[in-house]
Amino acid sequence: MPIIVNLDVMLAKRKMRSRDLAARIGIAEQNVSLLKSGKVKGVRFDTLEKICEVLDCQPGDILEYRSEKTTEDGQENAATPPAPPSR
């Protein structure tokens, strides 16, 4: 998945539990867990805004884009052949 959710990292930096974040932003703890695991297809901007407000961070601290062509260490994945030119 090209969008990586780093919410667990930010929670650890702020020494906050998922339960506490859920209570402060008004969503179910299960939804915070789903968001942390990246098992969601999207997040509402108002929810993202509340998360950033409570954690005192920017959206980019929580969400990261990583190309599917890029490996974990940031190197281009040579195993993926380039797509053939379209005609």
In whole angstroms, what is the distance from residue 2 CA to residue 47 CA?
A: 21
In whole angstroms, what is the distance from residue 48 CA to residue 62 CA?
A: 9
pLDDT in tens, 1-43: 689 999 999 999 999 999 999 999 999 999 999 999 989 999 9
Instruction: Show the tokens assigned to 15.
Output: 């020494």
Break the chain into its structural domains and give their ranges: 3-65
Q: Tell me the CA end-to-end span of the chain in Å, nearest whole number.
A: 28
pLDDT in tens, 55-67: 999 999 999 999 8
Mean pLDDT of the region 42-62: 97
What is the pLDDT confidence band of residue 71, given thresholds at 50, 70 and 90? low
- CATH topology for 3-65? 434 Repressor (Amino-terminal Domain) (1.10.260)
